[in-house]
Amino acid sequence: MLRKEQGDLLTRTGPGTPAGTLFRSYWIPALLASELPDNDCPPVRVKLLSERLLAFRDSKGRLGLIDEFCAHRGVSLWFGRNEEDGLRCPYHGWKYDYTGQCIEVPSEPVESGFCKKIKLKSYPLIERGGVLWTYMGPAGQQPPLPEWEFAQVPPGQTFTSKRIQESNWLQAMEGGIDSSHVSFLHRGELNTDPLFRGARANQYNLRDSRPVFEVVESAGGLLIGARREADDGNYYWRITQWVMPSFTMIAPRGNHPVHGHFWIPIDDENCWTWSFDYHPTRALTAEEVKAMRDGKGIHVKYVPGTFRPLANKDNDYLIDREAQKAGRTFSGVEGIAMQDASLQESMGPIVDRTKENLVSTDNGIIMARHRLLRTIKAMMDGKTATPPGVDVEHQRVRSAAVVLPPDKPFIDAAKEALTVRAGTAHASV
């Protein structure tokens, strides 16, 4: 459990908050590149870390992420006209460029230079791996561009989606660290979902629901090893990477694409769950991409025209009690992603961690919280400006699944498998 003040420290990410300052140290995903497909296309509202922003692509293709509201009298620039290298407020015609600089105030004489004095808050926005990334920290401390493997492989080898989750980022992320729930919550999908089924190791997951967790600190976060019984006295290890502040890579299965998540706060009660799937050495097949688009694996079906899942809080996640009773799904909710999201949202927008009763399978969660708190404290005390996970070396890592003899520590035996080796597939079972 956490004390109330510790919980508050980790879950509040608005401007000026300690965890908000942590998130503002990184390049974080803001939009899918497909949301701004063309020059001068309609702008998109983006709320991140409790700040209301607006993203647009100008006539020259330059990307801007600026304050959503006009500096004149606060109209939302979402209504703006995206034209001739800038966004024009439709109320009185003030115009802004992609850096938020006001470039025209039609009511004022040009020679007054008035517009030069007006600049909206803005953040850099760059495209990498089909995702638009932003950095919301102090301009002088901008870190190197992100080098996550899923965003570095050729476009045909990677697929990314995002969905709105109606909970604080931390309880969502904790679900990504806690792989012990797979043997329960997702057991129905291991042998049926097209992006999971057929892996030799699935039987180990289903047979042994008492994984032993070994958690080790890595340079950027944690290595979370979950050990289950395999055949002939060997151990099946699933090794999850958690990289600060909220990046998880799930251990692979067979030759399936490898997946992982980012959890990015929208505000303190909602977050974006980003889900990526990629294969380091081959293109995704048409069937795989179709399955992802159809909401299989870790992806979801949407309310049309939105990033809100079709199964959501308002319709009780379309729970099917028959399927639950018959064991087709363990919780009655369809699909791995919504099985996770439904339970995480059911805890309330910000779960009360003073009431928990943690057990040994929660070790990964305990250590992640500890590392986050330690880092936040060091930043508050001025002892560090660069938290783990900013260095691109911390990003060039992989998850792995391996079978090892019982006397081999996973951390040594799987060392090579845990870093990116371009042109080599993941270590998988």
* Spatial contact of 152 and 129, defined as CB atoms under 8 Å apart: yes
Identity of the residue, 340 or 345, whose beta carbon is nearer to Fe ion in the bound complex: 340
Q: How far is the CB of 106 from ligand FES (least distance, A)?
A: 9
189 binds Fe ion (CB under 5 A): no
73 binds ligand FES (CB under 6 A): yes
Q: How far is the CB of 185 from Fe ion (least distance, A)?
A: 6
* Spatial contact of 157 and 280, defined as CB atoms under 8 Å apart: yes
Q: How far is the CB of 222 from Fe ion (least distance, A)?
A: 17
Q: How far is the CB of 125 from ligand FES (least distance, A)?
A: 22
Q: 92 contacts which partner out of Fe ion, ligand FES, none, CB within 5 to 8 A by kind? A: ligand FES
Q: How far is the CB of 78 from ligand FES (least distance, A)?
A: 12
334 binds Fe ion (CB under 5 A): no
Q: How far is the CB of 87 from ligand FES (least distance, A)?
A: 10
- Six-digit token string for 60: 């020259």
92 binds ligand FES (CB under 6 A): yes
396 binds ligand FES (CB under 6 A): no
- CA nearest 270: which of 45, 17, 50? 50
Give CA–CA dist 403/361, Å, rounded.
Answer: 20
Torsion angles phi and psi, residue 398, rounded to 5: -135, 155
174 binds Fe ion (CB under 5 A): no
- Please choose, out of 20-28, 84-92, 345-353, 354-362, the segment that lies near ligand FES by the rule CB under 6 A: 84-92
Distances (CA, A) of 408 to 72, 221, 236, 400, 405: 66, 22, 12, 15, 6
| Chain-centroid distance, C-alpha 245 | 10
Q: Specify burial of residue 131 (Cβ count, 10 A radius: 0-12, 13-18, 19+).
A: buried
The angle subtended at Cα 158 by Cα 156 and Cα 163, nearest 5°, is: 130
Peptide bond just before 405 cis, omega within 30 deg:
no
Give CA–CA dist 63/123, Å, rounded.
Answer: 10
Q: How far is the CB of 350 from ligand FES (least distance, A)?
A: 34
Q: 138 contacts which partner out of Fe ion, ligand FES, none, CB within 5 to 8 A by kind? A: none
Q: Specify burial of residue 355 (Cβ count, 10 A radius: 0-12, 13-18, 19+).
A: exposed
- Please choose, out of 59-67, 138-146, 334-342, 402-410, the segment that lies near Fe ion by the rule CB under 5 A: 334-342
Identity of the residue, 91 or 307, whose beta carbon is nearer to ligand FES in the bound complex: 91
Rg of the Cα atoms in the chain: 23
373 binds ligand FES (CB under 6 A): no
User: Could you tell me how many residues of this chain bind Fe ion (CB under 5 A)?
Assistant: 1
89 binds ligand FES (CB under 6 A): yes
117 binds ligand FES (CB under 6 A): no
Identity of the residue, 94 or 237, whose beta carbon is nearer to ligand FES in the bound complex: 94
Residues forming the site for ligand FES (CB under 6 A): 70, 72-73, 75, 89, 91-94
User: Could you list the residues that contact Fe ion (CB under 5 A)?
Assistant: 340
